[in-house]
Amino acid sequence: MNKIIQLKDLEIKDYKETWEYQEELFKGIVDLKIKNRREETNLETPNYFLFVQHPHVYTLGKSGDLSNLLLSEKQLEAKGATFYKINRGGDITYHGPGQIVGYPIIDLENFFTDIHKYLRFLEEAIILTLQEYGIVCGRSEGETGVWLGAGTPFARKICAMGVRASRWVTMHGFALNVNANLGYFDNIIPCGIRGKAVTSLNVELGVERVNEAEVKEKILKHFSILFEATFEKFEIVKQQSKI
């Protein structure tokens, strides 16, 4: 089993280009697994982890309700935002500057074959990261992601999650609000959940800006411990890739 995860920080990238890049990496792993099965080989499958920040964009999961987007096409354009219906689980969410997005594209057969455990480990990596900043947070029963004040009238979501998995290969991932402009969440019913707020780490800490590089380092530390994995930086150069 290959427990090395190849890490790449895409910095700020268009959502659609990044989605296509994810699909390219995802397909490469799946194709290799199919080859192994058909040819009875045992070639090692790679694992990837992408960090990125997107320009303002709203995405709707495959089971989501379009009515949870509260903007018309013209209003989206006026706000400098785009919209995509995509192939992950979950409902609608927002991505934008000041938000750390993580896309683990990994072969779970290198780690464990349990998608629920995978989601709980993603949540746990964020929970442990936020605890290092003195943030009391956790899970909300029946709802994915990471919450503050879960089960109280002051419940607020700080990290959204939505994944896709096929043949035990994952894509999409999490979006942690670190220095996010929360006003953009007013244009949707986040994750299709009414009556619950959204927050950001800088707001909870009462500071203007949190060091995002430091947050990423903490996420990777906890992710590597939970998954018993090692991160290595990588560069993939393919002519057809836009990144």
DSSP state of 130: H
171 marked among binding-site residues: no
15 marked among binding-site residues: no
CA distance 86 to 170: 14
56 marked among binding-site residues: no
Q: 32-51 b/e with 16+ CB inside 10 Å = b?
A: bbeeeeeeeeeeebbbbbbb
Alpha helix (H) residue ranges in 1-87: 15-39, 73-78
DSSP 3-state assignment of 198? strand
199 marked among binding-site residues: no
88 marked among binding-site residues: yes
Choose the catalytic residue: 191, 198, 215, 219.
191
185 marked among binding-site residues: no
1 marked among binding-site residues: no
Nearest to 59 by CA among 201, 147, 163, 169: 163
170 marked among binding-site residues: no
Nearest to 194 by CA among 68, 84, 62, 71: 68
173 marked among binding-site residues: yes
160 marked among binding-site residues: yes
78 marked among binding-site residues: no
Kindly state the tokens that stand for 21: 């890049």
Q: Is 159 a catalytic residue?
A: no
Q: Are strands 48-53 and 4-12 parallel, antiparallel or unpaired?
A: parallel
Alpha helix (H) residue ranges in the chain: 15-39, 73-78, 115-131, 201-205, 212-227
Query: Cβ–Cβ contacts within 10 Å for residue 152, how many?
Result: 9
162 marked among binding-site residues: yes
Active-site residue list: 191
- What residues form the annotated binding site? 88-95, 160-162, 173-175
Q: Which residues are annotated as a binding site for substrate?
A: 88-95, 160-162, 173-175
